[in-house]
Amino acid sequence: DLDSRSNQPFSLGDSHLVFNGEIYNYVELRDDLKRRGVHFNTESDTEVLLQSYLTYGPSCVEQFEGMWSFAVYDSRRHRLFLSRDRFAEKPLYYIADKDGVYFGSEVKFIQSLADRSLQVNQRQVLRYLVNGYKSLYKQPETFFSDVREVPYASNVEIRGDLRPRVQRYWVPQYTPREMTLSEAIEGFRHHLYESIRIRLRADVPLAFCLSGGVDSGAIASIAAKVFNYDVTTFSISDEDERYNEFDNIQATVNDLGCRHHIMSIPHRDMRRRLEQLVRYHDAPVYTLTYCIHSCLSEMISRGGFRVAVSGTAADELVTGYYDHFNLHLYEIRHHPDFATWLAGWHDGPGQFVRNPHLKNPRLYFDNPDFRDHIYRNNDVFAEILTRDFTEAFVEERFCDSLLRNRMLNELFHEATPVILHEDDLNSMFYSVENRSPYLDSRLFQFAFSIPPEHLIRDGFGKYVLREAVKGVLNDRVRLDRRKKGFNASFHALFDPRNPEDRDFLLSEGPIFDLVRRDRIEALLGEGTLSNSFSKFLFNFVSAKLFLEQWATSQTDSGFLSPCNLAGA
C-alpha cells in the first residue's frame, strides 16, 4: 500500500509500530483477521502486522511468512516488543544500558540516538582477519563491543527495568521422514512454487538477479513460465574463466525471451566504491564478492527497480557446496547402493573440486570432525598479526546427521547470515529491497524432512531442485554440475605494482596496531595469490578502511580517539 495512511510510525490506539521488511502472506492473514471481526483502514502488510500483534500477542510472528525486523511500543503499559524474522533477513541491532534501550537497523542510527561513543570490538576485527567471514556469526558479537544483534527467529521484550528478555520463537530442526524420490521432488516443487508466488506480490515491478547457476535460473524461469510474470534479469559477468558464467546466463535469457541487463566487473574506481560501502556498512565489507555485488545493486536501481529477487540459500537447503558431496557419502556409507553414489562423485564433483582436502571422497570416514577447510590457512594469518589470537572452529549441534548439521550451521551461523547482511546493505544503499524465495519456512521444513539418499544422485547436487524444475529451467543450466560461484581476485580491486595503490595499502593507520606491515608488504610482492590469501588481503584492506574511517568520524564528532579500541 503506497498510500500515506500506511506511513510509519503506524499507530492503533496505544500501540505504535515501526517495521522494516515484508509479510508475504499478509493477504491470507488479513482475511483471517476479518473473519474474526477486525476492521482495516489500509491495504498494507503494516496494518496486518500490528492487528495480528494486537489479536495474538507475541505469538503472532509464528503465523508470519516473510522477512522483518519491527518494534511495537505499548505506550499505556510502557513495554517495547522487538522481533526479527526466522532467517535474520532484516537487520536489527540494539544497545541496552542503565540509561535506556536504543535499537535500529544500522549502527550509525543507534549511535546517533544514544549520543555517545561506540568502541570498536577488536576481537571481531581479529576474528575477521584470521578466520574470515564464516566466523563472524559464531559468537553473539558485532564489530562494536556494546552493540548486539537480535538473533534469528527471536523476540525481545523490554519493560520498565530496561532489561532485554530474548526468546526464540522458532527452532530449525531436521525431521527426516520416509518418502519416495517422486514425493520429494513433487513436495519441493509445490513449496518452492508457493514461496515464489507470494514473493511476487508487490506494488512495483521486480528485478531478478541471474547468475549462471540453477538457483537463480530456477526462480526467474518459474516466475516467467509458471506465473506468467514479466521478468527482467540483471547479471554480472567475469572475464576470469574460473568464474565466467556468461554462456549459462545467456541460455536462460534466450529461453525466457526476457529483458536482460549484463555488465562486466568494473575495475575502475573499485577503491572508491569499497570506501563508500565500508562507510555505509559501519563495518568491513565481509567479502570481495560483495564489493562487486554492489555494482549489481546499483545497476538494478538505475534500471528503475526497487525490489530484487535472488537465489540465496538454495545451497544450504539442498546440498550446493562441494563438501556436501563428501558429507553425503559419509551419510550413506552403509547404503546398499553406496558404490553408485561413489561412482557419481567421480563422474561429477571429483572432476571439478580444487580444494585438496575435498578431493578425497572418503574424507569424513576416518575423521567426521574434520573442518580444516573452513578456516583455511588461519594459522598462517594469525602469524601476520602483532598479537596472539586463536579461536578454534566451533559449530552448533542441531541434529545427529553430519551432513544436515553442517548445512544448518551454514544456514544460521556461517554462509547465509553473511550473504543476507551484505545483500541487505548493498541493496538498501541503492534503495532496493532484496527478496529470497528459498528462505521460506514451509519450504525449509519440507527440505529438511527429505531423506539423504534423495539429495544427491548421479553426481548432481541439488538433485531434488533440478528435478523439480525439469521442463521449466533450460537443461543447459539445470544439468550443469560445475559450481563456479560469484568471485574475483584481490587484483581485481588493487594492483600492488601501481605506486598509488601500494602507497595506500601500506599507509599508516590503526590497522598496523593489529597487523605486521612487513608481512603485508611481502604478500603484496607475490605475483599470484591463492584464493585464501586473496581473501585475506581483501579483509586486510576492508578492515583498514573501517578502522580509519571510524576513528576519523568519531574524532570529528568528539566521540572516539583513533586508538580507542575495545580490548580482546
Res. 444: pLDDT tops 70 = yes
CA 103 to chain centre: 21
Q: Which residue has the higher pLDDT, 122 or 269?
A: 122
Confidence of residue 561 (pLDDT cuts 50, 70, 90): very low
Task: Say what the pLDDT of residue 3 is.
Answer: 59
159 close to 79: Cβ distance less than 8 angstroms:
yes
Q: Which residue has the higher pLDDT, 289 or 284?
A: 284
Interacting residues of 234 by C-beta distance below 8 A, sequence separation 6+: 207, 208, 209, 210, 260, 261, 262, 296, 299, 300, 303, 308
Q: Which residue has the higher pLDDT, 180 or 113?
A: 180
Res. 530: pLDDT tops 90 = no
55 close to 65: Cβ distance less than 8 angstroms:
no
Mean pLDDT, all residues of the chain: 93
79 close to 526: Cβ distance less than 8 angstroms:
no
Tens-digit pLDDT profile for residues 218-229: 999 999 999 999
Task: Say what the pLDDT of residue 6 is.
Answer: 63
Confidence of residue 562 (pLDDT cuts 50, 70, 90): very low
Whole-number percent of the chain with pLDDT over 90: 83
Task: Say what the pLDDT of residue 281 is.
Answer: 96
- What is the pTM assigned to this prediction? 0.94
In degrees and rounded to multiples of 5, residue 167 shows phi and psi of -140, 130
Whole-number percent of the chain with pLDDT over 70: 95
Tens-digit pLDDT profile for residues 177-193: 999 999 999 999 999 99
Residue 428, H or E segment: helix 415-429
The Cα–Cα gap between 251 and 329 comes to 32
CA 283 to chain centre: 15
Res. 291: pLDDT tops 60 = yes
**In 10 A of CB 474, how many CB atoms?**
18
Question: What is the maximum alpha-carbon separation in the chain?
Answer: 71
Q: Which CATH superfamily is domain 181-317+403-478 in?
A: HUPs (3.40.50.620)
Q: Where are the beta strands (DSSP E) in 380-449?
A: 433-435
Was domain 4-116+138-168 assigned CATH 1.20.1090.10? Answer: no
Query: Mean pLDDT throughout 521-547?
Result: 92
8-state DSSP, 57: G
Q: Which residue has the higher pLDDT, 483 or 250?
A: 250
Res. 353: pLDDT tops 60 = yes
Tens-digit pLDDT profile for residues 381-409: 999 999 999 999 999 999 999 999 999 99
Res. 322: pLDDT tops 70 = yes
516 close to 380: Cβ distance less than 8 angstroms:
no
37 close to 83: Cβ distance less than 8 angstroms:
no
Residue 21: strand pairing partners: 68
Query: Mean pLDDT throughout 78-107?
Result: 95
Q: Which residue has the higher pLDDT, 97 or 86?
A: 86
Res. 17: pLDDT tops 90 = yes
460 close to 466: Cβ distance less than 8 angstroms:
yes
Q: 226, 207, 246: which is closest to 476 by C-alpha?
A: 246
Residues composing the chain: 568
Q: How do the domains of the chain map onto residue ranges?
A: 4-116+138-168, 181-317+403-478, 490-566
Task: Say what the pLDDT of residue 97 is.
Answer: 87
